[in-house]
A = this chain, B = another copy of it.
Amino acid sequence: MTSGSNSGDICNGIFRDGLLGKTPPYPTNIHDLEALAKEQLPPELYAYVADGAGNNTTLRDDRRAFGRWKIIPRMMRDITTRDHSIELFNDHLKAPILLAPIACQDAVHPEGEVAVARAAAAVGVPMVLSTVSGKSMEEVGDTPRWFQLYWPKDNAVTKSFLQRAEDAGYSALVVTIDTKSTGWRESDIAHAYLPHLRQKGIGNFLSDPVIRAALDEAPEDNFRAACAHIFAVHRDLTQEWDDLAFLRDNTNLPIVLKGILHPDDAREAVAQGMDGIIVSTHGGRQVDGSIAALDALPPIVEAVGDKMPVLFDSGIRHGADIMKAIALGARAVLLGRPYIWGLAVGGEDGVRQVLEFLLADYDINMAQSGLTTTAQLGPDILRRADE
């Protein structure tokens, strides 16, 4: 990434051993890769990953929002040395990208989150491991990684998760606050609500000492009892801003709130002593008809100022998207569905291809725009589109 990613470099770097063992034309475009993934996954599992809430309105709007901004590239600048890396909390990121937390990756590929973590480490960006992970947080290799928390009702379980994340070397805690319940996802209901996820995504639960202790007390330590307990401790509809003090008191990790769309909620996050926020529509999976994440970003950046980093999630597909989100004030972006398509098609190699391509796309688009560091991205490189 630091120099000379001209076309030759790209070829050499990317086409080792053929691309995912295939012959040309390769699935280069993310839409082609998604089509391949769709062929390989059961339809209900594909729909679970691909679809959003309700009428998919927000899913589409998240993408369209990027089209309303255009980049004005600058010429005749020395672009030989490029360094897109950023420092974020305790990590050095080769590029301003993280892998968004996505549940149940063991349903997509047997190696699941372990494969994803390896690919992320290979390209030098952190993954955010979901609470609802197929592998336990201890099983996922010691690479730069953050832990995402679906905040359980049971404080003992919460404390256990926080302690385990610290012990296992996670560098930050992402608390998802937009998902007290699942969104109205019609394709999931159409498929009788997620039978393909049965026994998936429970790595962190089954391995948890607090949960296991509770199960030992149950008459039969079977799967049904485990699930009942998991659902009993999972998600608390009552949680309010003040309750965040409990998390603040029980972890030394930086806490990042994920799922904020209103500037006043961003201000509240600052007031509660949080360390960062992620502007996100949860990939269009929660409130059908909500504001597009990118449209929500500028007023939130203005509200927060330099009090904490604002990250961005929902809709990132191309290098230009990264440039736009950061130019509008995001410190870094999270990538979601695209790496799952890579995982489905090629496991670790597939995820790595998606990441390498996205980073090459970002590097080249930056260079062509006359920009050599992520810090140079600001509103002056953008123009609001007329369409």
Contact = CB atoms under 8 A, between A and B. Distances in A.
A181 B80 CA distance: 10
B73 A262 contact: yes
A207 B20 CA distance: 40
Interface residues of A, number: 98
A164 interface: no
A182 interface: yes
A346 interface: no
B26 A289 contact: no
Nearest to A82: B237
Contacts of A289: 66, 69-71, 318, 320-321, 323-324, 365
A287 B69 CA distance: 13
A281 B6 CA distance: 19
A231 B8 contact: yes
B361 A290 contact: no
B318 A239 contact: no
B184 A319 contact: yes
Interface stretch (A10-18, A108-116, A330-338): A10-18
Nearest to A265: B75
Interface in A228-281: 231, 235, 237-241, 243-244, 257, 259-262, 264-265, 268
Interface of A: 4-8, 10-11, 14-15, 24-29, 32, 43-44, 53-55, 57, 61, 64, 66-80, 177-178, 180-184, 186-187, 189-193, 231, 235, 237-241, 243-244, 257, 259-262, 264-265, 268, 286-292, 295-296, 317-321, 323-324, 357, 360-361, 364-365, 367-369, 383, 385-387
